[in-house]
């Protein structure tokens, strides 16, 4: 039987830190790109920076919607199987 190799905390943490650095780099690059535009100063919500900054929130909301749909579907299937 094969041995299970334990996952080291530092490998998980280092992958998370690399992802965080990449995300912050993308946000900084978007800010640098749109920094001097007049349209950005009047309407920052119509910019790449706003999109990059709010993308994690949208991802969490979409994941929550998906989870509720899947749970609801499986509850319906379970009720049909047990004929409640």
At CB < 8 A and 24+ separation, what contacts does 63-70 make? Answer: none
Intervals of the chain under pLDDT 50: none
Residues 52, 26: contact at Cβ < 8 Å? yes
| CA atoms within 13 A of residue 11's CA, in its CB half-sphere | 4
| pLDDT at position 12 | 65
pLDDT recorded at residue 51: 78
What phi and psi, each to the nearest 5 degrees, are found at residue 43?
A: -130, 80
From residue 82, alpha-carbon distances to 16, 68, 75 in Å are: 43, 21, 11
Domain boundary assignment for the chain: 9-82
């Amino acid at each position: 039987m094969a041995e299970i190799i334990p996952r080291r905390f530092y490998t998980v943490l280092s992958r998370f830190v690399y992802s965080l650095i990449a995300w912050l780099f993308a946000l900084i690059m978007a800010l640098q790109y749109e920094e001097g535009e007049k349209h950005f100063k009047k309407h920052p919500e119509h910019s790449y920076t706003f999109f990059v900054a709010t993308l994690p929130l949208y991802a969490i909301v979409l994941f929550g919607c998906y989870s509720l749909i899947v749970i609801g579907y499986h509850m319906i299937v379970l009720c049909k199987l047990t004929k409640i």
